[in-house]
Each structure stands twice: as structure tokens, then as C-alpha cells.
Amino acid sequence: MKPESTLGRTIERLASRQSRIGIIGLGYVGLPLAARFSEVGFAITGFDVDAGKIAELNRDNGFTKYVGRETVQVRFETDFLATDDFARTAECDALIICVPTPLGKYHDPDIGYILDAARRIHPYLREGQIVALESTTYPGTTEGDMLPELLREGLSVGEDFFVVYSPEREDPGNAKFDIRSIPKVVSGVTENCLAAAEALYGAAVDNLVPVSSTRVAEMTKLLENIHRSVNIGLVNEMKTVADRMGIDIFEVIRAAATKPFGFTPYYPGPGVGGHCIPVDPFYLTWKAREYGIHTHFIELAGEINQAMPDFVVEKLMHALNEEGKALKGARVLVLGVSFKKNIDDMRESPSLHVIEGIAAKGGRVSYADPFVPRLKAGHGVSSSYESLHADAATIAAHDAVVIATDHDNFDYDMILREARLIIDTRGRYPATEAKVTRA
């Protein structure tokens, strides 16, 4: 029968590495995914709307480093082409959509990039193709929003083409895990779609986790990130309570983590950042309202995390006051502006809010970050900045140093020796150090 034969041919082409894989969105998710499929023998076509990125990627089919809002290094072992010509999607047996899903002005989900990708595919969709979505989104997006944009007369989903959802699980800067080793949740609109998903991702990932529907897979991704948001919000609130009581929260966490069951350590900081934790919970809160549910717990965690940069600035003000200085006019150096250590991604970084908070109160703020050479006005900050070198002379020249992102290549012994005052948001120093204030 046709469904089996179409699916069978699709699976056979994947198994024999005859398929060409198309990746739509060549960022921190799409590029590594393209490289992984290339590594296991597939020809790759990358689609993007950024002409500069396309030109850079096509200059070297070997080692490619793209520096934008993130840095990605990939090696393509097979034929690779980057293009903005979406007519070439017809050449691909599988199309994997890895586009952003930001929030709108009022924290409402913006799935415009997903819908735009589907509309670009639509005129060229053909029999035997797989269309996979990896972008984080609310339950119902794949079937209720994306699929209608793909449908063409004469092509039936699950029989002629296959629509799947498999959420990305990236952790930038974490060398312990890669695409191959991270278990991959897969789902399909129909049983045949799920079989196609397993054939596609099974070629590149060691362990697959099939689930019963795309809605389950979409909710799984949200739960993963909301779990982190809520627990980070909890420990950030605990930090403020412990601080008022004169208790070292990092010592508390280390002690609690010795319990071999029922406890997972999370660590406080100046807030949360990145492409997931500050954004994804709002996708569920927005969708939940459609069902008459108000997600108080999730939203409260978000409020706590968003308030942490102000807490850091207040601790800075208090520490300076103790030294007989005002924040207004004080020279303050913020160490680290990416949202997590050892990467250059600044999306939603709480460090940027700390910088803005210091500047708003009259502080003469600078920053040092070896991964981020400059900050441009309008990209999270209202003024432009150039990164300083975190050397001894620079540290000593400032009235206070704020450790916002604790990159491993900062010289913490030198910083402790040369700094006049340290505001430590990451627990790099013992709370007993005289010049250290925890924040």
C-alpha cells in the first residue's frame, strides 16, 4: 500500500545515507545538528535568511566558525551547501526547522519564525519528505499551527509526507554531552510520522525516547526548562533570606547536596539568561490561560529570577556605603556578560541588567569578558561598551568588581589580591573574605 511504500522508501534512503538533510536556521542549534548528520554520512543543505552567514559558511566546507550572537565551530565531513533559496528544499528528503521562538512585547509567544519556515517549504513540499520541528514552543504548535501551513492538495500527512517534533536539547559550553549522547525525544503527527522520526534521528543519536504525540513532546521540553526556572527561583529566594540572616547559602547548598536522595543542588546567581530559561515558561503560562488556568507557581519563579539583578545592585550600593563611598561616581567593573560561563552568548543575560542598573544609579560602569569583545547599544544595554582586560592594573583601578559570570579563565587569586571590593554573585570566594560581599 502507498503509506507503507512511501514510508519504506524514506526509511530506506535514510538507512543507506542517500538522503540529503536540510537544516533551516543555522544558529547554535542548527549548525551542530548539521555537522552531526554530516559526520554520519549525509549530504547537508543549510537554509538561512542571513546572507552574511551563508557567505561565511560557504567559504569553507571544512572548519567553519560563525561569530554572531553565539560562536559555533563545526566540521562538515560531506557535501555541504548554505543557501537562502528555499526552492532547494525540494532536494532534501528531511527538513529540520531550528528557528528562534522569542517572546513578544507582552510576553506572548512569537512563533512567527516557525510559520515563516513552513510557508517557505510549502510550495516545494513533495512526497516522501520529513518535516521536523525542533524549536521550543507550546503544546499544539506542530499540529495546530505549523501543519496547516504545510498542507498541499494531493499530499496527505502520514502517508505522503511526515511531520515530526523533536525538541532540541543543547547546553552550550557543556563538553560532557553532545548531540550523539543526549537522549532525543521524538514524536510524530501519526504512527508513520513517528516511524520516520525514529529513522531520521536514529541515524545520528544513540538513544531515542519516543512519545505518543507531538503535544507530549512539546510539553516535555517546557517541563525540562520550567523545572530549572522554578528551582533556580527557589534557590535565589533562599539566597535573599540567607543573606538577611547572615548565612552563607553556598555552604548550605553544599551541605544539603550530601544527601544521597531527594535533593538536587541548584545554585543562585544574578538572575537567569539564555534562550530557554527566561523565555520558555511564558509559552506554557500563555497557553494555560486558554484552558482557564493561571500558573502562579511558574510565574512567581520568573518574577524572583527577574528581580535578582536589582538585588545585586542593591548589595553593591550597600557594600560601597560601608566603605564610605556612593555608587554615583564610583568606578565599577562587571566581570562576565554572557549568560553562563565559558561561552559568548549574551541572550537575556542578567549581567546586562546589572550593568544597566549600575549606570542608572550613576555608577561609572565598565566590563571585562574575554568571550565578548564589545557590547552594542540596543543589544541589552543602552550605551556601547568595549571589554577591558581583567588584568591586575584594571582590577585595582576600580572601586568595586562584580563577578557576574564566572568564566574559568579569570584569575580569581589575582582578583582577590588586587580588588578593593568584590561583589560575588557566583560563590567563587568564601564569605569570610573581608573584601567580599555575596550577592
**Which residues are designated catalytic?**
276
* DSSP assignment string, 162-207: EEEE------TT-TT--TTTS-EEEEESSHHHHHHHHHHHHTT-S-
Sign of CA dihedral 321, 325, 328, 332: negative
Lookup: cell for 126:
513533495
Residues shown for the chain: 439
Distance CA 130, CA 162 (A): 5
Amino acid (1-letter code) at residue 304: I
Q: Cβ distance 197 to 132 under 8 Å?
A: yes
Nearest to 18 by CA among 75, 79, 87: 79
Alpha-carbon distance of 31 to 316, in angstroms, equals 40
From CA 57, how far away is CA 399, in angstroms rounded?
Answer: 44
Beta strand 63-67 pairing with 162-165: unpaired
Distance from chain centroid for Cα 230:
17
Could you write out the DSSP letters of every residue in 234-287?
HHHHHHHHHHHHT--HHHHHHHHTT-SSS-------S---SSSTTTHHHHHHHH
Cell of 28: 547554535
